[in-house]
């Protein structure tokens, strides 16, 4: 793999850019792999990367029915944070956030990680109590957060309206080392590193059936032929239920659309991420100057990847009360992603009833921020059969009543 650097850019400029190579190879699928991962989004690619880097397992295929990163990885709002209430959630998200900090160097790809900080606004007395509780929990978990007063909120975000008529800002939960990254660069970086280590990334390869023998996974049927494998990982977000049905079991998830939008570009005015659960909205400003705006998931099950006008109107109307300047902006574009929701709004990283088959799903609205930590835990689970980060997120928790209730933290905002 050719190393990216300032020198290589200068050299290729002098050579009319004739020396660049493909970022990742486009191999034909082999008949047999040690592990097949279905889904070439951020979570699937991160799993493959850490399998090779941490465990030396490189005879791996990552199958993608469309194009790499074309699902939720390319359809999110890039927020990264780890200020969750429950211990298992804080552990895996903080692992992920810490990995993001050095990911550009690890992958030799500028993922544009920006630790600009995330503010979660408290606009009711109930939220004040809840966020103070979370700040105390984070202190015990080793996650650096603090509850800040309205004056500090205004200092960090001058465009905010503190004394709103319906939703005054009473403070905020502030995580200074949280932030954003470029979503497609994360997928490209992992794919490039995987390909360099000998992992096969096979696009336009849809899984049509899962083969098993005596309760053990044997392989998959695809639109590009049959592939045998010793272990199978399903990492397909909102389509997890469909693949699980092929494997002969059901998952406790439901798929809904989550949409977002960006405004026309404007001059820099917001250098933090602001989340407002009370009005179901959150916002950051991209490097191109667009205001990136998102809200809650649709209230009904669907598989659409486009936004709906009424949901955009509801989100923007609410945010305008806290950020009046938004009323003067035009919407540039909108989009939707298919998110998979569990009952406790926490993910599933687990073995399944089919031997050798594993599943990584249920991230709901929090998938992008978890990519490195999810890949790290899933790779460990596949390689060793056990991962401390994934232990609490097994399928058996739903049968045993060991819920990890993050509905407040992840059910609305991101």
Q: What average pLDDT does this structure show over 189-195?
A: 97
**Distance between CA 399 and CA 383 in Å, rounded?**
25
Q: Report yes or no on whether pTM surpasses 0.75.
A: yes
Token pair of 398, please? 């739903």
Interatomic CA distance for residues 363 and 42, integer angstroms: 12
Tens of pLDDT, residues 261-303: 999 999 999 999 999 988 888 999 999 999 999 887 888 888 8
Pairing of strands 281-285, 291-297: antiparallel
pLDDT band at 90, cuts 50/70/90?
very high
pLDDT of res. 317: 85
Cβ atoms within 10 A of the Cβ of 18, count? Answer: 7
How far is 367 from 137, CA to CA, in rounded Å?
22
Structural contact between residues 283 and 292, judged by C-beta atoms closer than 8 angstroms: yes
SS3 call for 125: helix
pLDDT, position 414: 43
Residue 73 CB contacts under 8 Å (≥ 6 apart), including other chains: 41, 42, 183, 184, 186, 187, 368, 371
- CB atoms < 10 A from the CB of 173, how many? 25
Give the separation between CA 125 and CA 130, rounded to whole angstroms: 9
Domains, the chain, ranges and CATH?
27-109+182-252+344-410 (3.50.50.60), 118-178+255-342 (3.30.9.10)
Pairing of strands 253-263, 171-175: unpaired
Q: How confident is the model at residue 412 (pLDDT cuts 50, 70, 90)?
A: very low
In degrees and rounded to multiples of 5, residue 355 shows phi and psi of -55, 135
| CB-CB contact of 186 with 111 (8 Å) | yes
Q: What is the pLDDT of residue 187?
A: 97
For 7, half-sphere exposure in the C-beta direction (CA atoms, 13 angstrom radius) is 2
Alpha-carbon dihedral 393, 398, 403, 407, rounded to 10 degrees = 90
Q: What confidence tens digit (pLDDT) does each residue in 232-251 have?
A: 999 999 999 999 999 999 99
Do the beta carbons of residue 36 and residue 60 sit within 8 Å?
yes
Distance CA 389, CA 206 (A): 30
Q: Give tens-digit pLDDT for 369-399.
A: 999 999 999 999 999 999 999 999 999 999 9
Tell me whether residue 21 is exposed, middle or buried, using C-beta atoms within 10 angstroms of its C-beta: 0 to 12, 13 to 18, 19 or more.
Answer: exposed
How confident is the model at residue 161, as a pLDDT? Answer: 92
pLDDT at 408: 52
- List, as one string, the DSSP characters of 229-249: EEEEEE--GGGHHHHHHHHT-
Asked whether the beta carbons of 356 and 233 are under 8 A apart, the reply is: no
Q: Is 30 helix (H, G, I), strand (E, B) or coil?
A: coil
Question: At residue 409, does pLDDT exceed 70?
Answer: no
Residues 188 and 109 sit within 8 Å (Cβ to Cβ): yes
């Amino acid at each position: 793999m050719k190393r990216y650097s300032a020198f290589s850019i200068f050299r290729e400029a002098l050579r009319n850019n004739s020396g660049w190579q493909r970022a990742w190879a486009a191999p034909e699928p082999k008949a047999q792999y040690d592990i097949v991962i279905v889904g070439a989004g951020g979570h699937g690619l991160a799993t493959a990367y850490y399998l090779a880097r941490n465990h030396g397992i490189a005879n791996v295929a990552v199958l993608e029915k469309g194009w790499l990163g074309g699902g939720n990885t390319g359809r999110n709002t890039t927020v990264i944070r780890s200020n969750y209430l429950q211990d298992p959630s804080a552990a895996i998200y903080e692992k992920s956030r810490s990995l993001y900090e050095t990911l550009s160097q690890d992958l030799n790809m500028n993922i544009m990680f920006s630790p600009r900080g995330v503010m979660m606004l408290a606009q009711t007395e109930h939220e004040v109590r809840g966020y103070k509780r979370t700040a105390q929990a984070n202190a015990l978990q080793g996650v650096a957060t603090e509850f800040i007063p309205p004056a500090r909120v205004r200092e960090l975000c001058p465009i905010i309206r503190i004394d709103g008529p319906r939703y005054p800002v009473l403070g905020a939960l502030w995580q200074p080392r949280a932030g954003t990254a470029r979503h497609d660069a994360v997928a490209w970086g992992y794919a490039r590193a995987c390909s360099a280590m000998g992992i096969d990334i096979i696009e336009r390869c849809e899984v049509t059936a899962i083969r098993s023998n005596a309760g053990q996974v044997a392989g998959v049927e695809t639109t590009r032929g049959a592939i045998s494998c010793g272990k199978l990982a399903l990492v397909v977000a909102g389509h997890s239920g469909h693949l699980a049905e092929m494997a002969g079991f059901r998952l406790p998830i439901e798929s809904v659309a989550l949409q977002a939008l960006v405004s026309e570009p404007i001059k820099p005015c917001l250098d933090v991420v602001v989340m407002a659960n009370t009005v179901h909205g959150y916002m950051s400003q991209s490097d191109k100057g667009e205001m990136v705006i998102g809200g809650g998931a649709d209230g009904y099950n669907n598989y659409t990847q486009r936004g709906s006008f009424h949901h955009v109107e509801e989100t923007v109307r609410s945010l305008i009360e806290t950020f009046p300047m938004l009323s003067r902006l035009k919407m540039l574009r909108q989009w939707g992603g298919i998110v998979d929701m569990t009952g406790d709004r926490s993910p599933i990283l687990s073995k399944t009833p089919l031997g050798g088959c594993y599943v990584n799903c249920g991230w709901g609205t929090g998938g992008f921020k978890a990519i490195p930590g999810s890949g790290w835990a899933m790779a460990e689970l596949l390689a060793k059969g056990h991962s401390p980060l994934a232990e609490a997120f097994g399928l058996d928790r739903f049968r045993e009543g060991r819920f990890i209730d993050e509905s407040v933290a992840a059910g609305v905002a991101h």
